[in-house]
Structure 1
Amino acid sequence: MGNSGLKQHYETAKKTGVLKVSQGKLTEFPASFKQFQPILRTLDISENKFSSLPIDIGSFKLLKHLNVNRNRLSSIPEEIGNLNKLESLSLCTNRLTALPESLSQLSHLKQVYLSENQISQFPLMFCGLRHLDVLDLTRNKITHIPDGVEDLHVTELICNQNQISAISNKIADCPRLKTLRLEENCLQLSAIPKDILTNSTVSVLAVDGNLFDMKSFAELDGYDSYMERYTAVKKKMF
């Protein structure tokens, strides 16, 4: 992206607090972005060629929305934890294998999108964030959902197309979880915790494409309890 193109985006940012420099073929975070630290609320640098974010990213204290989708990120600096006003974080289609623990400090987060990365460990650092509604981990390399997940406050957890073969029973204790998507994983029928069916707030449990057929799933002990919740929610929608 040429200087004239950037200049136009910069003028918009000065007026609106929104800087969108996507599809720009940028490989490095421009030093000129620093001028917007006191005003920027939305930063969209998706569809570029960033391999990293600078430590300075933590200085954009007013940032509420950060979109770095479709880049080449292999890591995220711990300083991202300084963005204490951040509400949405989108890092889809990168090369991330792990996430910084400092994300646990982002108490205003509402949506986190991490699909199409290389993450192998379930990101427990998001547990305890009471305003987090959606966590999307589609198309990663997660193999199990561990203990500790009970402190996740999301209403929707999306783990489709991973390699999950084990789920902690504690997932049934998630206080706000309504929708749990586990399609196209490596789950045996025996790996579905009974408490998800009988003793949870989950009203949509999507498990197609695992190592069992849906007829067998419907015969599980507790399935009727789950279907009561599912049907009650559907009735409210119409």
Structure 2
Amino acid sequence: MERESLNTMKVFLSPLMPFLLLLLLPDGIFSSDCPKDCTCNPSTSIFCYQRNSPTLPSGLDTSTRNLYLFSNGIEGIKREDFDGLVNLEMLDLSQNKLTHLPDRVFETLTSLKNLDLSSNQITQISEKSFHGVTQLQRLYLQSNSIKAIHPATFTGLENLLELKLQGNMLTSLPTLSMPQLLLLDLRFNTFPLLGPTDLQTPNLEALLLAGVGLTGLNMELMLSLKNLHYLDISGNELKSFPVALKETPRLLHLNLAGNPMRTLKPEDLQNLNELIELDISSLSLHSLPEELPQLLPNLKKLTVAENPFNCLCNLAWLPGWLSTQGITLVRTEETRCHFPPISAGKVLPRLEHRDFGCPTTTTITTSTTKITTTTLPVAITTMPTTTTAIQVPIDSDELPLPPLPATPSSSSADPEKELPFCPPDSCLNGGTCHLDQQGYITCACPYDITGLTCEIQPKSKSSLPEPESSRATSIADAPELSSSQATPTSILLDLHLYIEKRPYIRGIRLTYSNLSGPDRRPNQLNLPASFPEYRLRGLNPNSTYSICASPLGDSTGSESICIEAHTSPQHPARKPQVDSPRFTM
């Protein structure tokens, strides 16, 4: 009887078995809430990549906190697309085909903190484009075609920390009254002059103004930015060092590259002794102030590439200073001598002290007298700066160079027929030296050789510089996550290796907490995998932070990498002691 009942039960349960198994499986495994062609983390995140659809996916889970819709081909958005997403904190709509933002389109996203609209085709921003998103902290609008922004667009966005507008077509800027803003990127628009009424951002840490056509830097604006640590004014029309920079004593990073300045004087850097990174490449500089080591005692990274340096005695200090202080010279191969001809084309930091032609002093002691003789370097003909010759600028405090020796027949020769000679090695790489009627040197270069002194050879494997040493070196494995360039309120994170070792990830979750304060609750920030570097901002001074990186969507934590990093103390800027050299870093 029992066997018969058991058989009857088996027959009865067999059709129901698949349904019973479905009931026993965890929630979300076969969830219909995940949109087509998307990947869903059952807890918070939805990833939709390259869906090739002109509209947003429908039926989004209302518990979603992070929504990634980059490179989907989306052509338009409407307010109804976001109904019910009151928990959404991160919305990535970058690299789509959006041309405009309807009024109040994000109004229902009351928890939104990060909005990425970069690399679309948006042409203007209206007054109500961002109405309602009062919790927004990061707004990315770079690489669009924005020509106009309504003056009241950013009203109400008082919690904004980062605003990126670079790579648009803006010629004017609405007043930015943002008391919490830490980063403002306006690069590659057109703003010839910005004043204090344009930027009412007293806590701004990073201001990027490269390629905006600046002809000057407003003194009142710089005075209002007391917390500025990073300033990029490269690629502008600044013909002299901005005097207003003397009002930025807390500046740590300064980029002046690509401005037509031509000279750099010691007094220009007088109040910038906190700098740890300086880029003065492509300024048409012939030399550098010899007081640089005393003016910039904290410098760790220097870029002086693509300047026509005269490698004479007043630059002989540079290679030794870089080496002794462990300063990183960026773009070393592009930092070369332009003059004299014997050094033209050589990498400046690789020259020895004797290569700069400094006078050598020899002391001879006898029983009755002590004679000191000074040997001057080989005479160098001064030439004007034209398309065929180089002029050597002579400072008033330099020793005058001795005149060229007269030829044996100079006393009897006709002055009009006298032909002075070229100094040895005036033309390089087989070039032929000639002197014009004014006595200026010109070089006739062989085929494929260019340059004022024939110093530039055609690019080929044979012309590449030989490595200085062929000895094998062992390099320790670099950490996948590292920090550097800490300020009192920010830390720069290097994520290059973390991303390289995980080419499959679509984004990175950063989790950080302050180990030095009473509130150790973790903060989370989601980044796209296209960010190999990211600066955490809004931190507390003199604090230790625990920072962890993990792939977005990884619920196991098996690929999480954690480090501890420290913000620097907040202290008043120190005054440089130019008369008392200090070389310690």
Q: Which TM-score tier does this pair reach, normalised by the shorter chain?
A: 0.7 to 0.9
In the TM superposition, what whole-angstrom CA distance separates every residue of 1:34-67 from its partner, at most 9, and x where no partner exists?
Answer: 2244221111111110001122223322110000
- Greater RCO, 1 or 2 (C-alpha within 8 Å, sep 6+): 1
**Aligned mate of 1:205, from 254, 260, 280:** 254
Deviation at 1:22, TM superposition (A): 1.1
Structure 1 equivalent of residue 172 of structure 2: 121
Deviation at 1:139, TM superposition (A): 1.4
Alignment of 1:184-223 (within 5 A): 184-189=235-240, 192=242, 194-198=243-247, 200-213=249-262, 216-217=263-264, 219=265, 221-223=267-269
Alignment of 1:4-43 (within 5 A): 4-5=36-37, 9=46, 14-29=62-77, 33-43=81-91
Query: 1:20–1:32: structure 2 CA closer, same or farther, 3 Å change rule?
Result: farther
**Aligned mate of 1:163, from 197, 213, 232:** 213
**1:74 aligns to 2:123 (yes or no):** yes
Query: 1:29–1:202: structure 2 CA closer, same or farther, 3 Å change rule?
Result: same
Structure 1 equivalent of residue 153 of structure 2: 102
- Alpha-carbon distance between aligned partners in 1 of 2:198 and 2:108, rounded to the nearest angstrom: 30
In the TM superposition, what whole-angstrom CA distance separates every residue of 1:183-236 from its partner, at most 9, and x where no partner exists?
Answer: 00111216x1x24225643333211101213xx13x06341221x121466578
Structure 2 equivalent of residue 229 of structure 1: 274
Alignment of 1:36-75 (within 5 A): 36-55=84-103, 56-75=105-124
Q: How many residues align?
A: 228
Structure 1 equivalent of residue 510 of structure 2: none
- Alpha-carbon distance between aligned partners in 2 of 1:19 and 1:104, rounded to the nearest angstrom: 25
Q: Is the 8 A contact 1:148 1:170 kept in 2?
A: no
Query: 1:207–1:124: structure 2 CA closer, same or farther, 3 Å change rule?
Result: farther
**Aligned mate of 1:85, from 127, 131, 135:** 135
- Alpha-carbon distance between aligned partners in 2 of 1:122 and 1:167, rounded to the nearest angstrom: 16
- Alpha-carbon distance between aligned partners in 2 of 1:147 and 1:118, rounded to the nearest angstrom: 22
Query: 1:35–1:187: structure 2 CA closer, same or farther, 3 Å change rule?
Result: same
Query: 1:71–1:232: structure 2 CA closer, same or farther, 3 Å change rule?
Result: same
| Structure 2 residue identity aligned to 1:176 | N
| Structure 2 residue identity aligned to 1:5 | D
Q: Secondary structure at the match of 2:67?
A: strand
Q: Is the 8 A contact 1:64 1:87 kept in 2?
A: yes
Q: Is the 8 A contact 1:171 1:196 kept in 2?
A: no
Q: Secondary structure at the match of 1:33?
A: helix
- Alpha-carbon distance between aligned partners in 2 of 1:202 and 1:167, rounded to the nearest angstrom: 15
Query: 1:210–1:170: structure 2 CA closer, same or farther, 3 Å change rule?
Result: same
In the TM superposition, what whole-angstrom CA distance separates every residue of 1:163-199 from its partner, at most 9, and x where no partner exists?
Answer: 1113211122112111111000111216x1x242256
Bigger radius of gyration, 1 or 2?
2
Identity over aligned pairs, percent: 18
Deviation at 1:144, TM superposition (A): 1.4
Structure 2 equivalent of residue 183 of structure 1: 234
Deviation at 1:149, TM superposition (A): 5.0
- Alpha-carbon distance between aligned partners in 2 of 1:149 and 1:104, rounded to the nearest angstrom: 14
Q: Is the 8 A contact 1:43 1:65 kept in 2?
A: yes
Query: 1:202–1:151: structure 2 CA closer, same or farther, 3 Å change rule?
Result: farther
Using the TM superposition, name which of 174-183 and 56-65 deviates more.
56-65
Q: Is the 8 A contact 2:249 2:274 kept in 1?
A: no
What TM-score, normalized by structure 1, do the two folds share? 0.83
Deviation at 1:33, TM superposition (A): 2.0
Unmatched tracts of structure 1, length 5 or more: none
Unmatched tracts of structure 2, length 5 or more: 1-34, 41-45, 47-56, 276-295, 301-484, 487-584
Structure 2 equivalent of residue 111 of structure 1: 162
Query: 1:102–1:220: structure 2 CA closer, same or farther, 3 Å change rule?
Result: farther
| Structure 2 residue identity aligned to 1:183 | S
* Larger strand fraction of residues: 2
Query: 1:132–1:233: structure 2 CA closer, same or farther, 3 Å change rule?
Result: farther
**1:141 aligns to 2:190 (yes or no):** yes
- Alpha-carbon distance between aligned partners in 1 of 2:260 and 2:61, rounded to the nearest angstrom: 50
Q: Is the 8 A contact 1:198 1:223 kept in 2?
A: no
Deviation at 1:77, TM superposition (A): 2.7
What TM-score, normalized by structure 2, do the two folds share? 0.36
* Larger helix fraction of residues: 1
Q: Is the 8 A contact 1:189 1:212 kept in 2?
A: yes
Q: Is the 8 A contact 2:106 2:131 kept in 1?
A: no
| Structure 2 residue identity aligned to 1:112 | L
Q: Is the 8 A contact 1:12 1:19 kept in 2?
A: no
Q: Secondary structure at the match of 2:221?
A: helix
Q: Secondary structure at the match of 1:196?
A: helix
Q: Secondary structure at the match of 1:221?
A: helix
- Alpha-carbon distance between aligned partners in 2 of 1:229 and 1:123, rounded to the nearest angstrom: 32
Q: Secondary structure at the match of 1:205?
A: strand
